[in-house]
Amino acid sequence: MAYKIAVASSDGVHIDRTFGAASAFRIYEVTDREYAETEIRSVSDDASPGSEGTASDGGMGGCQGGREACRGIGCSGNQGMTAKVETVSDCRCVICARIGFPALKQLERRAVKVFDVTCTVEEALEKITAYFYRADTHQPFRHAGTRE
C-alpha cells in the first residue's frame, strides 16, 4: 500500500520545524518500506497574516494577541493553521518538531497521524515506515523473547 508522509524540515536532513512554523512540507512517497522525496509543498498563500507562528507563541500558530485580543469571539490564527492542515491532508502522517493542540485535532479529524520528534529525517522515516509496515501486514510490535 502506497502512502505519503509530510515532514517539516528546512534542510531535508533534520526535523527542525514546528507544524506552525513550517512554510513548506517535504512530501515522501512510501511503498512497503521504501521511501523517496517526491515534492516540496508550500503552504497556500491564502493563510491569514501572522498565522505562521512566532517566537512569542513558540512557533505554534494560534492566537497571536493573547486572550485580550480574542475577546471571546474566536481567534483568526486558526485560518492559517487550517491552510497548513489542508496542505498535508492527503498524507498518512506528519512529522514535525512540535505541534499545537488545535492543529493536532484538525489533523486527527482527517485521520492524519502526527509524530512530533527531534531527530534526523532519515531516522524518523525509517522508524515510522517500519511501524506502518508492521501495522499494515498485521505483524506484532513486540519482539520475541521480550517481557510484558
In a domain, 38, yes or no: yes
Residue 142 lies in a domain: no
In a domain, 70, yes or no: yes
Task: With a cut of 70, say whether residue 148 has pLDDT above it.
Answer: no
Kindly state the cell numbers that stand for 124: 524518523
**Mean local confidence (pLDDT), 88-111:** 97
Task: Count up the domains in the chain and report the number.
Answer: 1
CATH of the domain at 102: 3.30.420.130
Closest CA to 86 of 94, 74, 96: 94
pTM comes to 0.76
- 15-42 residues labelled b (16+ CB within 10 A) or e (exposed): bbbbbbbbebbbbbebeeeebeeeeebe
Q: Which domain holds residue 6?
A: 2-136
Would residue 143 count as lying in a domain?
no
Structural domain includes residue 34: yes
pLDDT at 72: 38
Question: What is the rounded average pLDDT of the residues 64-68?
Answer: 41
Give a yes or no: residue 144 inside a domain: no
Structural domain includes residue 147: no
Whether residue 148 lies inside any domain: the answer is no
- At 2-42, the pLDDT tens digits run 999 999 999 999 999 999 999 999 999 999 889 999 999 99
